[in-house]
Amino acid sequence: MELTSQKMRKLAPELDPLRLGTGWTPDELSKPQIIVESTFGDSHPGSGHLDKLVNAACKGAAEAGGHGARYFATDICDGESQGTDGINFSLASREMIANMIEIHANATPFDGGVYISSCDKGMPANLMGLARVNIPSVVVTGGTMHAGPELLTLEQLGMYSAKYERGEIDEAKLNWAKQNACPSCGACSFIGTASTMQIMAEALGLALPGSALLPATSPDLVEYARRAGYQAVVLAKQGLRPSDIVTMDSFENAIMVHAAISGSTNALLHLPAIAHEFGISIDGDTFDRLHRGAKYLLDIRPAGRWPAEFFYYAGGVPAIMEEIRDVLHLDAMTITGKTLGENLDELKANGFYEHCQQLLDEANARCGIKLTRADIIRPASDPIGTDGSIAILKGNLAPEGAVIKHTACPKEMFQAVLRARPFDSEEECLDAVLHHKVEKGDAVFIRYEGPQGSGMPEMFYTSEAISSDKELGRSIALITDGRFSGASTGPVIGHCSPEAQTGGPIALVEEGDLISIDTGAIVDGWVGDNAWTYPVGTVAPEVQRLLEVGERCMWEGLDNARPTKRLGDIGHAVQSLAEAAGYSVVRDYVGHGIGREMHEDPNVPNFGRRRTGLKLLPGMVLAIEPMVNMGTRKVKQCSDGWLVRTRDGKPSVHFEKTVAITEDGPVVLTTEEGHPRPV
C-alpha cells in the first residue's frame, strides 16, 4: 500500500525542499508522516504543558519508523472569560479549532494523526476534526491538575466569589482561594466538561486504554503520548481509520460511561456534534433513553466529594467500564486494533489496577486521608444512583427539550412551588441574585443566551451564586436557553429549545403567568409522577384563587384514595370542589395507575359519581392529577403535538401527586423533604 504522503511528494515537487527547509532530513521524507495536532499554548493550564506531550508523540512516531510534524490550534479558557462578553466566543471556538484541524491535515495530506488536547472546546474540537480528516489516528488527553491545599479545586472559586460579594468572607480569604485553586497544569480538577470529554475520548475507543484523565504532571502521561505516536504509525501502515472504529455502539458505550460518571451536560452539545462528523445521529433523547436505569457510580466533584485526580487513582475509565461491563458493547473496536472487551481483559492481566492502587496510596499519604477505590468509584452493586445523571425535560416552554443534571440538584427541588422571575441577560440576573433581589421561592429565567442569541455562553457565575447560598440553593430554580459549566450544581435547567432568539416559548414568559412543572422519577425500578403549577411573579387575585382551589382539589382527591372507596369517589371529590368554586375540570386528560411504568391501569378521572367505578384496595398506587380551568373544560392540542391549551384561552392549573393506598389510609409518595402534607 502506497502511503498518501508519498503520493503527495510525486504530485508536488516543491514539497520536499519546503520540508527540508523546515528541518526535516532527507531520510524522514520517505517515512510515514504523522500530523501531531494539539491545542498547545499559554492560554490556560490545560494547554500550557501539551508541548511535552507533542514531543513525546513525535518521539514515539520516530521509534515506529515514522516522522511527526507539529501543528497547533490553541484553544481559549472558559474560566478566564466567565462573566464577561468573552464567554460568548467559547462555543464558537470549538468550530474554529475543528476547521483548522481539517485545513491543516487536508492542505498537506498525512498518513496518520495524533490529536492532543485537554479542555472544554479543544477536546471535542479535536474529536470532530479527527472524524472529518479520517486518517488513522490516536487521541492523547492532557490530564487533570492537582487539587490545592485543603483539596481546593477551581469550581469552588465561584462559591468563594459569591460569598465575598455577599460579605460572608473577607478579601484575604478570597485571594487565598484564587492563589491556590490551580496548583499545576492540566484540566480543572472536577468532572466538568474538560474532564468529561477526556473520558469520552477513551470511552469512544479513540485513546489508548487507561490513558484518560491522568494527573497532568505524571510521567505516565508522557509515556502514553509516546505510545500514541508509535500506534499512529502502526495504524497508518494498517490503514485503520477512525470511521472503521467508531460506530453507534461506540457512542452508546460513551453515553453509558457518561451516566456512570455524572458527566457534564455540555456533552449533550459535543457528542452529537462528533457523531455528526461520523455520519451518526444522536440527540438528547438518546441520552435520556440510555441514562434511564443507568447506574451512577463516581463520587468526584462537582456532584461528589473528591477532586478529579482521584478518578485515575481508583482505576479511571477502565474501572468504570468494569463496573458497568454488562451494559457495554464489548465487541466495539478501538484504536489498539482490539475490541473494548479485549482491552479491559489485557489491562487487568497486566497490573494496571495494582499501579493505580499504588498511586492512590501515595495520594492518601500526601493528603492525609484514607480513601479506598470503592470510596471513589462505587461498585455497581452499591451505586450512588440508579437513573443516570441527566434527564431531558419537555413541555410547552421547551417543546424541543431542556436538560437537567439531576445528580447535582438538591432532592427537595424536584418538587417545589416557585414564582417565575424572567431576565433577558445573565448580567441582569447575576446582579439581582448577588444583591438579594431574587428571593426564596423564585424560578429564575435567563433567556436570549442561546446559540443565536449570544453564542450560548455558560451561566456558571449565576448558578454558583445561587448554589453557594444555602437558602437559595435549595429553594429557587434557574431555567435558561444558555448552557452551564460542567462545574455547575444546583437546580439548574439549560438548553431550553427553541431558544428565545428564534421565538422559543421561553421568550414569552412574563410576570403574572402560570407555569407548571411536571417531574417524574424512577427509583429502584419504581416510577413516581408529580406536577405543580407556579405563579410567575405577582399574579392577579382571581388567578391566585384558581391556584389555591386547584391545589385543594388535588388534596381532596388524594384524601379519597382509601380502601372501601371507589374511583368515582376520587373524581367526584375533585369535580364537586372545583365546580362549587365556579371552575371546570378537564376531562380529556386524567390520572392513572403507576408502578414499574409511568402510565398503568386504571385511569383515574377527575370527575364522576360517588360509589361508582373500580373498588380501591390496599397496595394500589395512583397518580392523581386534576387540571382545573377558569373557563371551559374543553381543551385543544396544538400542532407541535405537545402543547395543550384551553379552548377559550383562560388560565388553567395542574397539580399532581403519587399516592399509595394502605390499610391506614393514603400515603403520599412524591412529597418534598421537610414539607409533608398529611392526607
The pLDDT of residue 368: 93
> Which one-letter amino acid corresponds to residue 450?
G
Is pLDDT of 476 > 90? Answer: no
Does the pLDDT value for residue 609 go beyond 50? yes
CB-CB neighbours of 527 under 10 Å: 18
Strands 137-141 and 33-38: unpaired
Give residue-wise pLDDT tens across range 363-382.
Answer: 999 999 999 999 999 999 99
- Helices 316-323 and 193-203: crossing angle in degrees, nearest 10, is 70
Confidence of residue 527 (pLDDT cuts 50, 70, 90): confident
Give this prediction's pTM. 0.77
DSSP 450: S
Q: In the prediction, which pLDDT does 487 show?
A: 65
Catalytic residues: 485
Give the orientation angle of helix 316-323 with respect to helix 340-349, to 10 degrees.
110
- Which set of grid coordinates corresponds to residue 203? 470511552
The rounded mean pLDDT for the chain is 91
> Is the peptide bond prior to 602 cis by the omega test (within 30 degrees of 0)?
yes
At 563-600, the pLDDT tens digits run 989 999 999 999 999 999 999 999 999 999 999 998 99
> Could you tell me the pLDDT band of residue 515, with boundaries at 50, 70 and 90?
low
d(CA 118, CA 198): 7
pLDDT at residue 676 greater than cutoff 60: no
The Cα–Cα gap between 159 and 169 comes to 11
Query: Residues 402-451: pLDDT tens digits?
Result: 998 887 777 766 766 677 788 998 888 888 888 888 888 788 899 999 99
Judge whether residue 675 has pLDDT over 50: no
- Mean per-residue pLDDT, 64-70: 98
Round to whole Å and give the CA distance between 518 and 362.
Answer: 48
Instruction: In whole angstroms, give the CA distance from residue 166 to residue 155.
Output: 18
- Can you give the pLDDT at residue 347? 98
Region 204-222 average pLDDT: 97
| N-to-C CA span, the chain | 77
| pLDDT at residue 301 tops 50 | yes
